[in-house]
Amino acid sequence: MSLAGPDALRSLEEALRDIRREEDEIARRLARSTELIEKLREQEGDLLLQLAAGRFDPADEAALAAALSVAGHQAREVLKGHGDDLAAVETRLVSLDAEIARASLDRAGLRAEAETYRTELETLAAKVRPELVKDSRYTAQSAEAEELASIAEESLRKTAQADADREHRGRPYRDDPLFMYLWDAGYGTRNYRASSLISFLDGGFAALVGFARARPNFSMLNEIPLRLREHAVKQEELAEAARGELLAIENAAIDAAGGRASRDALARVLAGIEAAERAVVSLQDQRDEAARAQRELAQGSDAAFVSAMDSLSGLLGRGDLRALLSESRAGAGQDATVIEQIDDVRQRANEEDYETRDHKARLKTLAARRRELEDIQYEFKREGFDHPGVVFADERLASDRLNDFLRGGIAATAYWELWRQSRSVASPTGWSIGLGGAGTGMVFGRPRDGRG
């Protein structure tokens, strides 16, 4: 079964919402684990004080109790501040999610409105086509546009082949360190600059690797793709100009049949769609920044939090307390219950710490996957793949293939290429006022406000 463009876009949007929900949930779990670890550390301190009772000098015992009290209070205060900051960030995320949903809904409404105008224009196009194809100027321009498009496509194909040749045939040169040393130094050209001694030694290297014969071949391998690419760009510009002239003839015929108002309205709606998409991108960037703040708060990455937790952990790891615990383990059984409780608290703290490392790694993976999926969603809409007339032959792109990508089994670029390869148009009109979003093949041109 095939997959329609709008349905495909909804699948991507649902996957994005799922990722965001999972990010939020893991951040909350991480915050809870961090709070629990602090409480367990305080509990361990209380148990160590019980163990120290009567074994430390009273002044030392009082100083230890005071230090543990201060460290615990400081940690609790930092955690409270973190809780308040996390709550504020979570509120911000909820608000941004609602704004993103509204902006996406606005864009979908504009997209539907655009299809109404496109349908009107395609109906007019069907009416004027029989007469237009009899117009010698139109048929000549159509033939020229088709020919130039074919030439441009062939130029791109030759450029790609030359690039492949350069990569394959140039590898032996690039793998030869002596050859590349001489090449980078400009040996044998007017750009070569070296002392007499270095020039003498380089001459020996050149004779050893046959540089004089090899240099022109390697140079040609590098120059041919550049020349072909310049030619391909010029051919594409000619083809685009020819398409523009053909479009002007088509639009003039449609306007004469009463389509000017619909065409102007379509242009306004398309501008609205672009503005809505810019709004979505901006909101996604704001959400990404808020998610980053949430992630850092949940992880306890700021200096104040690290200092408070290090202070408490440092007290618990003091040498005299380690010695006390070691002596108590070897001593009378009256301390067995306290020691057992200390071991249990430490075990639970270690388990929570292990889980926090998993949570941190998962959050990092989710953030990267979300940004990649945002890139794909952006390209999907930019290329017009969400048009009702676009279909995808592989319906698994919105299910199994999507899951493979989310699990890391398919790279983002490879997943996007699968979408491009699977795309087709259900009922192409052959007219420039048709579907729009012809597809440039560009990958991930989404602006990101400087984000990585």
| Segments making up each domain of the chain, as ranges | 3-425
Q: Is 361 exposed, middle or buried (0-12, 13-18, 19+ CB in 10 A)?
A: exposed
Euclidean distance between CA atoms 49 and 186, whole angstroms: 75
Nearest to 142 by CA among 49, 244, 43, 59: 244
Residue with tokens 């307390």: 321
What are the tens digits of pLDDT across the range 45-77? 888 878 777 777 788 778 878 888 888 777 777
Burial class (CB in 10 A: 0-12, 13-18, 19+), 305: buried
Query: Which residue's structure tokens are 């270095």?
Result: 198
The pLDDT of residue 205 is 92
Encode pLDDT of 327-364 as tens digits: 777 765 677 888 888 889 889 988 988 888 898 889 88
Does residue 390 sit in helix, strand or coil?
Answer: strand
User: Do 328 and 403 touch, CB atoms closer than 8 A?
Assistant: no
Is the model's pTM score more than 0.95?
no
pLDDT < 50: residue spans in the chain: 427-443, 450-452
Tell me what pLDDT residue 39 has.
Answer: 84
The per-residue pLDDT for 15 is: 94
Phi, psi dihedral angles at 425 (to 5 degrees): -110, 125
Residues 6+ apart with CB under 8 A from 3: 391, 392, 394, 395, 397, 398
**3, 395 in Cβ contact below 8 A?**
yes
| Angle, vertex CA 372, rays to CA 367 and CA 377, nearest 5 | 120
Per-residue model confidence (pLDDT) at position 442:
37
Please check whether residue 139 is in contact with residue 133, taking contact to mean a CB–CB distance below 8 angstroms: yes
**Per-residue model confidence (pLDDT) at position 309:** 75
